[in-house]
Amino acid sequence: MPGPGLLAHVLVSKFCDHLPLYRQSVIYARDCVELSRSTLADWVGQASALLRPLVNAIRQYVMAASKIHADDTPVPVLEPGNGKTKTGRLWTYVRDDRPAGSTDAPAAWFAYSPSRSGEYPQAHLKGFRGVLQADAFAGYNAIYERGDVREAGCVAHARRKFHDLYLARRNEVNTEALRWIGELYAIETEIRCKPPDERRRVRRERARPLLDAFVTWLRSTLSTVSHRSDTAKAINYALNQWAALRLR
């Protein structure tokens, strides 16, 4: 029967240190400790059940915030019987307003889904009321249409598309786009952890005019590039986020 220390070690090794159970079994065998993968899997499953109340408490705390950040990432998942993997999704919902001067404890709640269908974030966020900062994934649209969740566009996602183009093939457009975004980031760095009223004032006085000018530049630049190019896609993505990026 495993003690709490051994269970914690197995779980941390699997989920934090990316050591799958079959590798852990081999490691223990080197010290003459026979722990089969099936035994370790049973422990992980039972520990997960015991931790469910804690997971639910974290979810309740995260969803009680007035603003949360959401994102998803693809994860390979074994597909039993086929000898290969399929792509699942790991959803992350974060409550962290420390950059805005909040003293509330940060927290993250994770959820898995077998695909990226919009039904999953819609179910995850059922009951949430407030501001949702996320990318432009269409699966969030039904959430915004409810009227009790306001969209906050993510500049980092818009920047990533230009940055990927910059790394692949540097040119005047993606270089200039990153410069504009860099100036916005510099303002955010100055006001990080400042009181909300001060952050709002600085954003309206300095960031808002800069963002307006950036959007004007994006629109004028769009007419000079092929509408099928990756650059045009990056510009349209940023422009489509404009309403959500606006500083109120």
* Arithmetic mean of pLDDT, 143-162: 89
Are 139 and 201 in the same domain? no
Place of tokens 């597909």: 79
Domain boundary, last residue among 151, 185, 218: 151
Residue-wise pLDDT for 55-80, tens only, equals: 999 999 999 999 999 999 999 998 88
Are 182 and 194 in the same domain? yes
Helix (H/G/I), strand (E/B), else coil: 56: helix
What does the block give as tokens for 34? Answer: 């026979």
Q: Can you say whether the dihedral through the CA atoms of 236, 242, 243, 245 is positive or negative? A: positive
Are 147 and 210 in the same domain? no
Taking a C-beta distance cutoff of 8 angstroms, is the pair 234, 165 a contact? yes
Are 147 and 199 in the same domain? no
Say which DSSP state 224 is in: T
Taking a C-beta distance cutoff of 8 angstroms, is the pair 97, 133 a contact? no
CA dihedral 151, 153, 157, 163 (to 10 degrees): 170
Are 159 and 237 in the same domain? yes
Residue 59 lies in a domain: no
55 or 153, which is more confident: 55
Taking a C-beta distance cutoff of 8 angstroms, is the pair 52, 60 a contact? no
Residue 58 lies in a domain: no
Residue 31 lies in a domain: yes
Taking a C-beta distance cutoff of 8 angstroms, is the pair 153, 129 a contact? no
pLDDT band at 196 (very low <50, low <70, confident <90, very high): confident
pLDDT recorded at residue 102: 87
Are 120 and 183 in the same domain? no
pLDDT band at 248 (very low <50, low <70, confident <90, very high): very low
What does the block give as tokens for 78? Answer: 């074994």
Residue-wise pLDDT for 85-114, tens only, equals: 999 999 999 999 988 888 999 999 999 999
Percent of the chain scoring above 70 in pLDDT? 97
Are 127 and 47 in the same domain? no
pLDDT recorded at residue 246: 54
Structural domains counted in the chain: 3
Residue 171 lies in a domain: yes
Are 162 and 228 in the same domain? yes
Residue 56 lies in a domain: no
* Arithmetic mean of pLDDT, 229-235: 92
Domain boundary, last residue among 105, 125, 151: 151
- The two beta strands, 67-79 and 84-95, are antiparallel
Are 164 and 141 in the same domain? no
Residue 126 lies in a domain: yes
Are 47 and 77 in the same domain? no
Residue 172 lies in a domain: yes
**Measured distance CA(170)–CA(181) in Å, rounded:** 16
Domain boundary, last residue among 151, 176, 194: 151
Residue 57 lies in a domain: no
* Arithmetic mean of pLDDT, 13-17: 95
Are 41 and 103 in the same domain? no
Helix (H/G/I), strand (E/B), else coil: 191: helix
pLDDT recorded at residue 84: 87
Are 17 and 88 in the same domain? no
Give me the domain span that covers residue 204.
Answer: 155-245
